[in-house]
Amino acid sequence: ITLDENQGSGERYSVKQTVADIKADTTVYQNKDGSYTLDQSAPGNVRVNDAVVSLDNRTRSNTQAIQNHSRQLQEHNARLNSQQ
């Protein structure tokens, strides 16, 4: 797509179709369980940028929870070992 009519392939695209194509390329769909899919029959839709931020936040939260639980397990293991 170009605004310069002297460049490009000479094909013309409607603004409506261009916007629809961009939306299709920048939208993912969300299942009820929160997972993302390209299946357009899923109940929700989300902009790709928002989905990436959401996934990053969930990953960080899960990583922190794993680190906390690992630390608790190590402490518990140390207590058990000291009792033997």
pLDDT tens digits, residue range 25-52? 899 999 999 999 999 999 999 999 999 9
Torsion of CA 6, 12, 14, 17, to 10 degrees: -120
- Looking at the structure of the chain, the number of domains it has is 1
In this prediction the pTM is: 0.63
The reply to whether 34 falls in a domain is yes
Q: Which domain holds residue 68?
A: 15-83
CB 45 within 8 A of CB 36: no
Please, what is the average pLDDT of the chain? 89
* 54 lies in some domain: yes
Average pLDDT over every residue of 74-84: 93
Q: Residue 72 falls within a domain, yes or no? A: yes
